[in-house]
Amino acid sequence: MSHWYPWKTPLVLASLSPRRRSLLEGIGVTMIVRPSGVVENDLHGAPGEVVEGWALRKASAVASEYPENPVLGADTMVF
């Protein structure tokens, strides 16, 4: 089965989430898993803003190491 993949370089997943990795692998995304080390301790603001900020910080922390690759930072919060 071939998969559609729009990038010529692997996606960098700035997360250790097994679920995110599984979802991406399930659609055939070639990736490098590189956790960011960002500590998720800032809870000031609306939940959506908080997780958006965490995701951006994760992606930004990893992006400088992989300037030629697309980088995905993501987060989830249940409230």
Show which residues are catalytic. Answer: 75
Q: Please provide residue 8's backbone torsions phi and psi, each rounded to the nearest 5 degrees.
A: -85, -20
Q: How far apart are CA 56 and CA 22, in angstroms?
A: 21
Who's near 50: CB < 8 A, 6+ residues apart? Answer: 42, 43, 44, 77
Half-sphere exposure of 14 (CA within 13 A, CB side): 24
Cα torsion 20, 26, 29, 33: sign: positive
pLDDT value of residue 43:
83
In this predicted structure, what is the pLDDT of residue 21? 94
pLDDT means per 10 residues, the chain with 79 residues, are 65 93 92 89 86 92 93 88
pTM of the predicted model as reported, rounded to 2 decimal places? 0.80
